């Protein structure tokens, strides 16, 4: 619990730093005055309409992607599993790109529709990867899962690039922002779009901690403990896809959060999912809010997308894990 408390304190500290990054700064005193309703109209606008929604989105997306990665690592028994690496986030993005292509050019896609569009692509992609990685006699093959996911993600990325050539300039700009992994859903309506998915799916996953502990020991032992392996695995896979797809719909193609968050939590908490799942959520939230804060601070008034910052950290870490697993 001490580790979780430290993570939460770091999130609060980063939050305070993040709300002060921008063309107009808010001192701690001004921040406090604004929070209790005594700020100026300009301070209220900056804090409540521009900065806080983005911070809340960063926390929710980080938590959702990290828990999704933790689920995928648990049910596949592969430490390299991640919704980005496996192509689930790319598949979720493909349906949004397709909808952008055929949607009337003078209208925006309804915000509440975005998670469902992402879910369709994520489910189809996950089903393809699962089918290609599963053998009836041997079950889900961890190494094949990663290789299949990388191949499927590469294919979908190529399709997305071909489709993007047909987009008008204004829609291509939106796609470019999405591909870079920039937190683009910076309004409260995006928070309200994502929040129900997080509030419903995270408690369900936490309630499955014992089942995930059993699955981590292998299919044979889990079956001997009375766990319906395939049924539970498919349920957890569906939840992992739902979390990743809903997060992608408001944040873009951010990778490696689902890889780094669970690994960091596992090193500090252990492998028991009762604590590992909430620790992964908090670690993922911390990672993404820190990445977004760094991205806003480095090149003011411009910014580096959070997905780029996370990739700078995550790509070397993925190669490190890959070298360890191959050794």
Cα–Cα distance for residue pair 219/240, rounded to 1 Å: 19
Measured CA to CA in angstroms, residue 248 lies from 21, 63, 119, 213, 271 at distances of 24, 12, 9, 27, 27
Tell me the two tokens of residue 307. 């997905």
pLDDT at position 205: 96
Round to whole Å and give the CA distance between 286 and 13.
Answer: 10
Tens of pLDDT, residue by residue over 166-220, are: 777 777 777 777 777 777 667 888 898 899 999 999 999 999 999 999 988 887 8
Mean pLDDT of the chain, nearest integer: 84
Beta bridge partners of 135: 139
The arithmetic mean of pLDDT across residues 147-155, rounded, is 89
90 vs 26: which has the higher pLDDT? 90
Q: Is 135 helix (H, G, I), strand (E, B) or coil?
A: strand
Residue with tokens 């606008």: 45
Whole-number pLDDT of residue 203: 95
CA distance 298 to 257: 20
How confident is the model at residue 104, as a pLDDT?
67
Q: pLDDT tens, 205-225? A: 999 999 999 988 887 888 888
Cα four-point dihedral sign 156, 141, 245, 183:
negative
Split at pLDDT 50, 70, 90, the class of 326 is low
Does 20 have pLDDT greater than 70? yes
Six token digits for residue 160:
């997305």
pLDDT at 184: 67
Up-side HSE of residue 199: CA atoms within 13 Å toward CB? 6
Query: Per the omega criterion (within 30 degrees of 0), is the bond before 301 cis?
Result: yes
Query: Using CA atoms, how far apart are residues 269 and 263, in angstroms rounded to an integer?
Result: 10
**253 touches 88 (CB < 8 A):** no
The segment with the largest mean pLDDT, out of 7-11, 29-33, 216-220, is: 7-11
Alpha carbon distance 147, 86 (integer Å): 8
254 compared with 164, residue with greater pLDDT: 254
Which is more confident, 22 or 38?
38
Q: How far is CA 273 from CA 59, 171, 209, 281, 290, in A?
A: 21, 41, 5, 12, 25
pLDDT of amino acid 198: 95
Q: Is 303 helix (H, G, I), strand (E, B) or coil?
A: coil
At 141 the pLDDT is 74
Task: Please give the Cα distance from 186 to 256 (Å, whole number).
Answer: 21
pTM of the model: 0.90
Q: Whole-angstrom Cα distance, residue 62 to residue 189?
A: 18
Residues 83-109: pLDDT tens digits? Answer: 988 888 888 888 888 887 777 666 666
Give me the residue label for tokens 């995930």.
212
Torsion angle, alpha carbons of 82, 238, 143, 124, to 10? -100
How confident is the model at residue 125, as a pLDDT?
92
Spacing of C-alpha 153 from chain mean position: 16
Q: Which two tokens stand for residue 182?
A: 């920039």
Residues above pLDDT 70, as percent of the chain: 94
Please report the pLDDT score of residue 211 as a whole number. 92
What is the pLDDT averaged over residues 9-34?
A: 82
Confidence of residue 313 (pLDDT cuts 50, 70, 90): confident
Question: Which two structure tokens, joined as six digits, stand for 42?
Answer: 């300009």
In sequence order, what E strands does the chain have? 134-135, 139-140
Radius of gyration for the alpha carbons in the chain, expressed in angstroms and rounded:
20
Half-sphere exposure of 31 (CA within 13 A, CB side): 14
DSSP string, 19-68: TT-SSS---HHHHHHHHTT-S-HHHHIIIIIIIHHHHHHHHHHHHHHHHH
Q: What is the DSSP letter of 37?
A: T
From 125-139, 148-162, 266-280, the region with the lowest mean pLDDT: 125-139
In eight-state DSSP terms, residue 47 is I
**Where is pLDDT greater, at 108 or 149?**
149
Q: How confident is the model at residue 38 (pLDDT cuts 50, 70, 90)?
A: confident
- d(Cα 76, Cα 145) in Å, to the nearest integer? 8
């Amino acid at each position: 619990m001490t580790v979780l408390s430290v993570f939460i304190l770091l999130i609060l500290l980063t939050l305070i730093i993040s709300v002060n990054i921008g063309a107009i700064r808010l001192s701690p005193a001004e921040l406090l005055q604004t929070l209790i309703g005594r700020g100026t109209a300009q301070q209220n606008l900056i804090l409540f309409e521009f900065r806080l929604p983005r911070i809340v989105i960063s926390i929710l997306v980080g938590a959702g992607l990290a828990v999704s990665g933790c689920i995928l690592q648990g049910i596949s028994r592969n430490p390299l599993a991640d919704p980005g690496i496996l192509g689930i986030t790319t598949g979720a993005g493909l349906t949004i790109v397709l909808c952008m292509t055929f949607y009337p050019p003078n209208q925006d896609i309804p915000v509440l529709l975005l998670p469902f569009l992402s879910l369709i692509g994520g489910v189809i992609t996950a089903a393809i990867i699962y089918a290609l990685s599963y053998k009836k006699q041997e079950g889900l093959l961890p190494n094949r899962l990663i290789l299949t996911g990388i191949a499927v993600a590469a294919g979908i990325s190529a399709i997305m690039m071909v489709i993007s050539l047909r987009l008008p300039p204004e829609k291509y700009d939106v796609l470019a922002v999405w591909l870079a992994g920039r937190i683009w859903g910076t309004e409260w309506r995006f928070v309200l779009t994502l929040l129900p998915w997080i509030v419903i799916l995270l408690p369900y996953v936490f309630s499955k901690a014992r089942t995930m502990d059993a699955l981590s020991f292998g299919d044979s032992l889990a079956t001997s403990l009375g766990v319906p392996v395939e049924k539970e695995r498919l349920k957890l896979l569906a939840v992992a896809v739902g979390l990743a797809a809903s997060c992608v719909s408001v944040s873009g193609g951010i990778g490696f959060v689902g890889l780094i968050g669970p690994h960091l939590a596992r090193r500090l908490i252990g492998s028991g999912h009762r604590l590992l799942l909430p620790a992964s959520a908090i670690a993922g939230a911390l990672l993404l809010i820190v990445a977004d804060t760094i991205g806003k601070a480095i090149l003011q008034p411009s910014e580096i997308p959070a997905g780029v910052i996370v990739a700078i950290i995550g790509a070397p870490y993925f190669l490190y894990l890959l070298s360890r697993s191959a050794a």
